[in-house]
Amino acid sequence: MAEFFIETLKFSERLVTIFFDSFGKILLPGIKVTIPLTLISFSISLVIAVATALVQYAHVPVLRHIARFYIWVVRGTPLLVQLFLIFFGLPKLGILLDPFPAAIIVFSLNTGAYDAENIRAAIEAVPKGQIEAGYCVGMSYMQIIFHVVLPQALRTAFPPLSNSLISLVKDTSLAANITVVEMFMATQRINSRVYEPLLLYAEVALIYLIFCTVLTKVQTIWERHLRVLD
Amino acid sequence: MLTVKDIHKSFGNLEVLKGIDFTVNKGDVIAVLGASGSGKTTLLRCMNFLEKADGGTLTFDTEEFELAKMRKKDIHRLRKKTAFVFQNYNLFRNMTALQNVTVGLTVARKMDKSAAEEIGLKMLDKVGLLDRKDHYPNELSGGQQRVAIARALATDPEIIFFDEPTSALDPELIGEVLSVMKDLAEEGMTMVVVTHELNFAANVAKKVIFMEDGKILESNTAEEFFKSPKEERTKEFLRIINRE
């Protein structure tokens, strides 16, 4: 009986040691890779999304069809397949990308397609009278877009955009499949040494949860600061 | 200053304007009256190109344009000489009262920000809302239409079009807006006002146009219009309105 107790204690001691030893080793690639990957991809995706939404809204010939095609393809194919296509597929055409830039490209394009639809919906929700008022004070179409329509639309789109940012944090774990050493890959590596899958995967899940909780808090505070529109 | 001739406009099968002629001279205050659906608002919107007329011409000073074939460049240029006050204000929801008033100067006319603010503050003061300059439209409650008028004034327009400026207001606010408009009229501002306010038409307007069914039925000086209306239909309209 005593023997069993000591065994259990030793076992728990080992788990606690592994937990604390690995925590920093998982968190570090989280800070150095997962967060930059998320933030860079998200920023690029916003630019893509605004441009894609605008060419549709303004009925720009040709470009709006390209925009529809892009959204159609990206939303209709799995993110993991897109990662493989860019990282493992493109070298066949002589285009060799490092894992990190390949991941950035895929995550930007993927998130951009979804956000484009969010932003388009928000732009279309701006009342026509706002645009007419813009014309009547002498603004040009482009001035109205950038000074009236977009500022209002981005406020409306803020909650869905926050959502897609939070999704992206977790989706970056898929980059492990194309050899990006982000949090999840780092966890897998530690696990292959010590074999404690329950502990380590729960640990990395906890860190993702912390990241997302922080983002959710920031979203709530920010939303409170955005003025409520009519 | 501004003359429109033979304006026609249809929405689908519905002919809303059936050939309208009228002239605005400098300093005119013209009230456009008529029942709902008579085409008053459409007429005003066609004159500022918010609706594209199907036919007719517009002459501004000495330039004549075919309304159905106007180029964007000309529309943009002519709009800068006019201003428009909407029934539902249409203040920019993402801007403060002051920004609403100055955006036509800073963005559309590339004016220096401090010069624009000086004008903006003067205009807000004129409509009595200087203390609300940093409020957003949803915080302005009763003052929205007066801010909209300040916005219209800021760009120093040659004509201001008013589209039922008091129709969306609570009764106690109508007086404030009308008194601002009266002041403008007295300063010699050229105004075309689509309205249901007969008192305004009678006391402030110099001319009255009465529209019915897409046409101008009677056009007269305000005094004549209310004292001795010519048309049977006009008399009836005044009778009904006065009884209300």
B51-99 confidence digits (pLDDT tens): 999 999 999 999 999 999 999 999 999 999 999 999 999 999 999 999 9
Interchain proximity B80–A130, CB inside 8 Å: no
User: Measured between alpha carbons, how far is A28 from A22 in angstroms, rounded to an integer?
Assistant: 10
| Mean residue pLDDT across chain B | 93
- Residue B210, chain A, CB below 8 Å: the answer is no
Which chain B residues are Cβ-neighbours of A128 within 8 angstroms?
none
Bridge partners of residue B58, in order along the sequence: B4, B65
Q: Can you give the pLDDT at residue B236?
A: 86
Low-confidence ranges of chain A (pLDDT < 50): 230
pLDDT band at B242 (very low <50, low <70, confident <90, very high): confident
User: Measured between alpha carbons, how far is A140 from A18 in angstroms, rounded to an integer?
Assistant: 63
Q: Can you give the pLDDT at residue B180?
A: 94
Chain B nearest C-alpha distance from A136 (Å): 6
How many contacts does A have with B, using Cβ atoms within 8 A?
66
B140-158 confidence digits (pLDDT tens): 888 999 999 999 999 999 9
Token reading at A169: 């944090």
- Residue A32, chain B, CB below 8 Å: the answer is no
Cβ-contact A176, A182 below 8 angstroms: yes
Q: Can you give the pLDDT at residue B233?
A: 87
Q: Can you give the pLDDT at residue A230?
A: 44
A interface mutation test: which of B42, B92, B100 has the most A CBs within 10 A?
A: B92
Which chain A residues are Cβ-neighbours of B91 within 8 angstroms?
133
**In chain A, where are the structural domains located?**
2-229
Which chain A residues are Cβ-neighbours of B145 within 8 angstroms?
none
DSSP string, A72-127: HHHHTS-HHHHHHIIIIIGGGGT----HHHHHHHHHHHHHHHHHHHHHHHHHHTS-
Residue of B nearest to A129 (CA): B90
User: Measured between alpha carbons, how far is B202 from B54 in angstroms, rounded to an integer?
Assistant: 32
Q: What is the ipTM of this complex?
A: 0.94
Which chain A residues are Cβ-neighbours of B104 within 8 angstroms?
137-139
Which residue reads 């944090």 in tokens?
A169
Interchain proximity A230–B137, CB inside 8 Å: yes
Which residue reads 């519905």 in tokens?
B14
Which chain A residues are Cβ-neighbours of B76 within 8 angstroms?
138, 140
Q: Single out the residue of B212, B239, B244 nearest to residue B226, CA to CA.
A: B239
- Residue A192, chain B, CB below 8 Å: the answer is no
Indicate if the pLDDT at residue B159 is higher than 70.
yes
List all residues 6 or more positions away from A47 whose beta carbon is below 8 Å from its beta carbon.
A112
Which chain A residues are Cβ-neighbours of B88 within 8 angstroms?
129
Interchain proximity A130–B103, CB inside 8 Å: no
| Helical (H) or strand (E) element with B213 | none
pLDDT band at B37 (very low <50, low <70, confident <90, very high): confident
Determine how many CB atoms are found less than 10 A away from the CB of residue A129: 15
Q: Which residue in the set A132, A136, A227 is minimally distant from B136, CB to CB?
A: A227
The answer to whether the predicted template modeling score (pTM) of the entire model surpasses 0.90 is no
List the 118-177 stretch of A: residues with Cβ below 8 A of B: 127, 129-130, 132-140, 143, 147-148, 151-152, 155
Which chain A residues are Cβ-neighbours of B84 within 8 angstroms?
132-133, 136
Q: Can you give the pLDDT at residue B35?
A: 87
Contacts of B55-58 with CB under 8 Å at 24 or more apart are: B55/B6, B55/B7, B55/B8, B56/B4, B56/B5, B56/B6, B56/B7, B56/B8, B56/B19, B56/B20, B57/B4, B57/B5, B57/B6, B58/B2, B58/B3, B58/B4, B58/B5
Q: Which residue in the set A129, A143, A151 is minimally distant from B86, CB to CB?
A: A129
The CATH number of domain A2-229, selected from 2.40.37.20, 3.30.750.80, 1.10.10.10, 1.10.3720.10: 1.10.3720.10
Chain B nearest C-alpha distance from A221 (Å): 19
